[in-house]
Homo-oligomer: A and B are copies of this chain.
Amino acid sequence: MRIALDAMGGDYAPAVTVEGAIEAVSESKDLSVILVGNEADLINELKGKDYPASLISIKHASQVVEMGESPVTALRRKKDSSIKVAVELVKAGEADAMVSAGNSGMVMAAALFILGKLQGVERPAIAAVMPTLKGLFVLIDAGANVDCKASHLLQFAIMGNAYARTIFNIDIPKIGLLGIGEEDAKGNELTKEAFKLLKESNINFIGNVEGKDVFTGNADVVVCDGFVGNIALKISEGLAEAIAKMLKREISEKTTGRISYLFLKGALKNFKKKTDYSEYGGAPLLGISMPCIISHGRSTAKAIKNAVQLAGEFCKKRVVDIISREFSAETSGSATRGEGRVVIKK
């Protein structure tokens, strides 16, 4: 699998993207990476490093889309940005998937305009992974669509279901709708309507899931609109960081710091691992015709490595084809559709 990596994307690029690419191809021999970005910078980063040269190549791109830039403007004005060139490599069949830790809005815009949506998909969505007491769950949409209709939420559920089944090997994923009460009738206008659609569909819908219950691990996929999803994701990230800081402060204030730190070190390290986004590498943009993985802006080399490996896995397990089949079932008549409603047969 050939992964086009936006080597200029993320807070610590290109140092960590190059490092992550090397780690990925060194670990997984069926992967190769095309580093997309400023050639001189990338040659410089690679210099003196030990890596399987046949598995890493460079594709020059002269521009970089900054984090705060408007995606629409950047797409029009920066014709040679590393994100755009990476997406174009996939479009041209020179890469099987793309990964970027850069401006996520730009990745979405480029994916949408250059690669396009799968037939039947109304809105592509970001599927992020979050830890639970038992393992993990998929949060979809984690930020691609800020204003949604109920039919979009049903489609997110279908795509999240396919993702959890293929990538996390869950036979029949349990799909929950993020809400404010377990009762069927609780929610806002959007979720009440989506609840009905989900209940009528053939996915394994377990009903509303309250915020306090998402971390217990009862739902494998948690569905919501992208505004709520992004807030849920970021609040969790912010709180985990704040708690780690509070604990550190408490320890150094209240006990003989050094000794207690020794005892705590292992526990904190394992804990951090469980809540650390870099372990999961990236969040795919589901519903696009080719695999696109969005990584955290603060990605470390390890996060990039994991994102590249996730992209490889995504190709190998043919997630795009599987999602495509779910939606073509909808239009081919093997499933029924009415009033924006998608019903799929297992």
Where the two chains meet, the residues of A that have a C-beta atom closer than 8 Å to any C-beta of B are 68, 131-133, 143, 146-147, 178-180, 183, 187-189, 191, 210-216, 224-228, 230-243, 245-247, 250-251, 254-256, 259-260, 263-264, 266-268, 270-271, 274-275
Contact = CB atoms under 8 A, between A and B. Distances in A.
A102 to B, nearest CB: 15
Is chain A's interface secondary structure helix, strand, loop, or mixed overall?
helix
Contacts of A271: 243, 246-247, 250
Contact of A266 (B227, B236, B237, B254): B254
Contact of A227 (B143, B180, B233, B251): B180
B243 A231 contact: no
A218 to B, nearest CB: 11
Contacts of A213: 238
Nearest to A186: B146
Nearest to A267: B250
A238 B263 contact: no
A254 B267 contact: yes
A323 to B, nearest CB: 25
A147 B189 contact: yes
A212 B296 CA distance: 13
Contact of A239 (B225, B227, B240): B240
Of listed A216, A238, A240, A268, residue having the most chain B CB within 10 A: A238
Contact of A211 (B68, B235, B254): B235
Given A191-B227, A211-B237, A246-B274, 12 more contacts: A179-B231, A188-B227, A210-B238, A211-B234, A211-B236, A212-B241, A235-B235, A247-B267, A250-B266, A250-B271, A255-B264, A260-B263
Q: How many copies does the complex hold?
A: 2
A21 B255 CA distance: 35
A255 to B, nearest CB: 5
Top 4 A-B pairs ranked by shortest CB distance?
A211-B234, A212-B238, A250-B267, A260-B263
Contacts of A191: 227
A185 B215 CA distance: 32
A264 B260 contact: yes
A177 B189 CA distance: 22
24 contacts: A68-B183, A132-B242, A133-B246, A146-B188, A147-B189, A180-B226, A187-B227, A191-B227, A211-B230, A211-B231, A211-B235, A211-B237, A212-B235, A213-B238, A214-B235, A215-B238, A216-B238, A216-B242, A246-B271, A247-B268, A255-B264, A260-B263, A260-B264, A264-B264
A270 B213 CA distance: 24
B242 A133 contact: yes
B214 A238 contact: yes
B247 A233 contact: no
Contact of A263 (B179, B180, B246, B255): B255
A235 B232 contact: yes
